[in-house]
Structure 1
Amino acid sequence: MVLAATRVYSSLPVVGKHLEPFAGLTAMALYGGHYAPAAVRAAISRRLNTSEAVAAPIDGEAESTRSSRMPPYLRFRAQRQRCLYRSSVRYGDHPAQLLDVWRRPDLPADAPVLLFVPGGAWVQGSRVLQGHTLLHQMVKRGWVCLTMDYRVSPVNRWPRHIADVNAAIAWARANVDRFGGDRNFVAVAGCSAGGHLAALAGLTPGDPAFRGELTDDADTTVDAVVGIYGRYDWQDRSTATRRNFQRFLERVVVGRSQSRHPEIYAAASPLARIHEDAPPFYLIHGEQDTIIPVGEARAFRDALQAVSRNPVEYCEVPRAGHAFDLVDNAHARHCATGVARFLGEVHDRKASLTAAAEVGA
């Protein structure tokens, strides 16, 4: 009844679009309580063990004293102000289909591109407050970064979310050169629900069920995928926590039961869509994640490595919980540097193969 009411008021003319975020918050409140006790216990445990070493910086990068003393919100805001090049660029016709462009003023020609998909349990997802540490790192290294909004539940049902991600990828393939990016190299990254969407987009570029309003010739392929504490299995009901998650999907995100429509959940599960031509993957997960247990990431990694012909790397962050990168801490910077290294290697490898092919021709 409550969820039905949120869908009604979110569909009202003029004011509905402003009320839509409250529908997502309502859905999270109804189902998020199941995870709260474990999350609180894990947070207290990590706080009581702060003497343990955190991940060491990679490539000699260290946090400055000034930066370490800056409140997280101000640090994020400073990163955004330094790197934001263009805000609220439309990648589609719907008001929610917006993205921001991050880049350096002195961007080198044909810079590689990273599209970032924010998380939020498929009911929230703002390009404004997520992924800043990663985006800042990539921009410093000469990349064009795009961070997107997409339509969310319960107002918008599955598969609208993945269709919007594919629309943003297609937009980048066709238009990112206007902002100095290379249309021939587009990677996608995402955290939590965004990690699910990034992985699914990377594994299913030709699936007509996920293309929405895109034309048949729109290119939705990606050159690499980064999954950050993502949800990779939409089918498992083996535990009480998993059953609660499946009920959330059924009632809030999909609007159809898994028992009657198992094909929907199989098609939306990255774990079930793995194939040998999967793009290169870099997976990151916190060891103490109580929202999406680390075992799910390990299982996805193992399945990918067993089948894919492309590189699959995995970074497990010690003592980190879910959403550990929402503040600009040592873990977030460590992971951002690892992602930058991995994507740089994938980009260099593709550039070398392209150059060799041109010489051979």
Structure 2
Amino acid sequence: MLDIPRALNPMDIALAATRMYSTLPVVGKHLEPFAGLTAMALYGGHYAPAALKAAISRRAGTGAEVQVPVEAPGEDVEAINGSLVPPFLRSRAQKRRYLDRGSVRYGDHPSQLLDVWRRPDLPPDAPVLLFVPGGAWVQGTRVLQGHTLLAHLVRKGWVCLTMDYRVSPVHRWPRHVADVNAAIAWARANVDRFGGDRNFVAIAGCSAGGHLATLAGLTPGDERFRGELTDDADTSVDAVVGIYGRYDWEDRSTTSRKNFQGFLERVVVGRKQSRHPEVFEAASPMARIHADAPPTLLIDGEHDAIIPVQEARDFHAALGAVSRNPVRYCEVPRAGHAFDLVDTSHARRCATEVSKFLTSVHAARDRQHTAAAV
């Protein structure tokens, strides 16, 4: 049961209205995206001053210099170099070139769709990446997001899946992560139909998608996040990539953090943290760290003002201190939040780092299998 506030304010009324019209017969499912846009508009003002300040700082070339150098040998040099083609057109061209199958169902709900990206000449048993788009848990669309990363990995011989999932305020937590787990289970059971290796499935996500990808990677088998999946469905992943993700769902130490927790309470979860702390703890990757966490790469922008970059640094330090598997961190200089939405040098730098990390994890897995077979 949802917590009902004692006195509804205009935000509560607006959100209730969006949930109501999204349930209308026939047209309701087409109106769901507007419910998410309404929620983003209501809460976006909390982040506008910080985002504007970060944008000015990037333009002026100021800011912290904490970063991890990026090496780009061989053909990856071209991936980072600039281009005269506008970013939006490059993104559309990437999809036209590498999309193999669109709107594949990974579940019974109309929102449970994914696209398959692959090369037509791909040999069987290619490694697989599932990409989870962001959107503050109120938008979860595969349109535009991650295209530079997907195209780069497809050129390297990967099968890539990019998914839609159910979002708030129409669908409450943990519906989002349950859909991510359903997509992982689908990949484990079906991706060989598209030339993918069911025994190597990595996951990556941006922003809210980074939270969902990381949480799913840390919590395979958690009954709270399985949704309609059967007990034998495999939701484990072989590697995790979090890109400017939100990793802490409990901290209320600053005004910004309190505003974020209020957004989760009213829009995403529908419960107050003070009454249901266990819900927020279970959903927080920072609280779910353990020694058997999959190999993990965290990438963030130096000037991220939406999710302060310190959160990624703290999560990297905490996970690295516990996990028995590799934990890496890369900070993209002068990049802000959502730096990969179009095909810019920041997005290509990110794709290069992800490719290097996942290739190393996949190679290590192959070495282990070879050694075990001898």
TM-score relative to the length of structure 1 = 0.96
Once residues 122 and 62 of structure 1 are traced to their aligned partners in structure 2, the CA distance between those partners, rounded to angstroms, is 34
Q: Distance in 2 between matches of 1:219 and 1:151?
A: 20
- 1:10: Cα distance to partner? 0.5
2:3 is aligned to none
Which of 144, 152, 155 is residue 167 of structure 2 equivalent to?
152
Structure 2: gaps (5+ residues) = 1-12
Equivalent runs, 1:109-148 vs 2, <5 Å: 109-148=124-163
| Residue 285 (structure 1) aligns with | 300
Aligned to 1:34: 46
158, 161, 184: which is aligned to 1:169?
184
Match of 1:86 in 2: 101
Matches within 5 A, 1:100-111: 100-111=115-126
Secondary structure of 1:326 counterpart: coil
Offset of 1:110 from its aligned partner?
A: 0.3
Give per-residue Cα distances to partners, 1:133-180, cap 9 Å, x unaligned: 100110000000000000000000000000000000000000000000
Q: Which letter does structure 1 place at the counterpart of 2:29?
A: K
Structure 2 distance, partners of 1:212, 1:66, is 43
Which of 32, 56, 60 lines up with 1:48 in the alignment? 60
Q: Distance in 2 between matches of 1:71 and 1:235?
A: 40
Q: 2:200 is aligned with what amino acid?
A: F
Alignment match, 1:356: 371
Q: C-alpha offsets along residues 99-139 of structure 1, whole Å, 9 cap, x if unaligned? A: 00000000022000000000000000211210011001100
- Say if 1:67 and 1:75, in contact at 8 Å, map to a contact too: no
Residue 235 and residue 181 in structure 1: after superposition, are their counterparts in 2 closer, same or farther (change >3 A)?
same
> Secondary structure of 1:68's partner?
coil
Which letter does structure 1 place at the counterpart of 2:147? Answer: H
Distance 1:64 1:211 in 2: 38
Are the equivalent residues in 2 in contact too, given 1:57–1:330 (CA < 8 A)? no
Q: Report SS of the residue matched to 1:8.
A: helix
Structure 1's consecutive aligned runs of 4 or more residues displaced over 3 angstroms after TM superposition are 52-57, 62-67
For the pair 1:7 / 2:22, whether they are aligned, the reply is no
Change (3 A) 1:216 1:66: closer
Structure 1 unmatched runs, 5+: none
Q: Compared with structure 1, are the counterparts of its residues 35 and 171 closer, same or farther at alpha carbon in structure 2 (3 Å cutoff)?
A: same
- Identity of matched residues, %: 76
**Residues in 1 aligned to 2:15 and 2:122: alpha-carbon distance in whole angstroms:** 46
Query: d(CA) in 1 for partners of 2:241 and 2:70?
Result: 20
Paired residue secondary structure (1:285): strand
Report the Cα offset of residue 319 of structure 1.
1.3
Q: Give 1:176-195 correspondences, 5 Å limit.
A: 176-195=191-210
- Of residues 213, 227, 236 in structure 2, which corresponds to 1:198? 213
Give CA-to-partner distance per residue, 1:227-256, whole Å, 9 cap, x none. Answer: 000000000000000000000000000000
Query: Partner amino acid for 1:29?
Result: A
Deviations 1:201-248 (A, max 9, x none): 000001000000000000000000000000000000000000000000
Mapped pair 1:310 → 2:322: no
Amino acid at match of 2:287: A
| Equivalent-residue separation in structure 1 for 2:97 and 2:249 (angstroms) | 38
Contact kept in structure 2, 1:199 and 1:226, CA below 8 Å? yes
Deviates more, 1:173-182 or 1:315-324: 315-324
Q: Distance in 2 between matches of 1:310 and 1:342?
A: 13
Q: Is the 8 A contact 2:252 2:261 kept in 1?
A: yes
Rounded to whole Å, the distance in 1 between the matches of 2:20 and 2:107 is 24
- Residue pair 1:57, 1:334 contacting (<8 A) in 2 also: no
- Cα separation, partners in 2 of 1:261 and 1:140, compared to 1, 3 Å: same
Partners in 1 of 2:287 and 2:81 — Cα distance?
A: 46
The RMSD of aligned alpha carbons is: 1.8
* Paired AA for residue 25 in structure 1: L
Corresponding residue for 2:311?
A: 296
Residues 199 and 56 of structure 1, relative CA distance in 2, 3 Å threshold: closer
Quote the residue 2:72 is aligned against.
Answer: 58
Q: CA deviation at 1:80?
A: 0.4
Conserved in 1, the CA contact under 8 Å of 2:70 and 2:353? no
Contact map agreement 1:284 1:317 (CA 8 A) in 2? yes
Q: Residues 37 and 349 from structure 1, CA distance in 2 versus in 1: closer, same or farther, beyond 3 angstroms?
A: same
Matched residue type, 2:73: D
- SS state of the match for residue 324, structure 1? coil
Residues 64 and 345 from structure 1, CA distance in 2 versus in 1: closer, same or farther, beyond 3 angstroms? Answer: closer
> Structure 1 residues 312 and 12, CA, compared in 2 at 3 Å: closer, same or farther?
same
Equivalent residue number for residue 256 of structure 1? 271
Question: Is 1:222 paired with 2:234?
Answer: no
2-structure distance, mates of 1:100, 1:67:
27
Aligned residues: 358
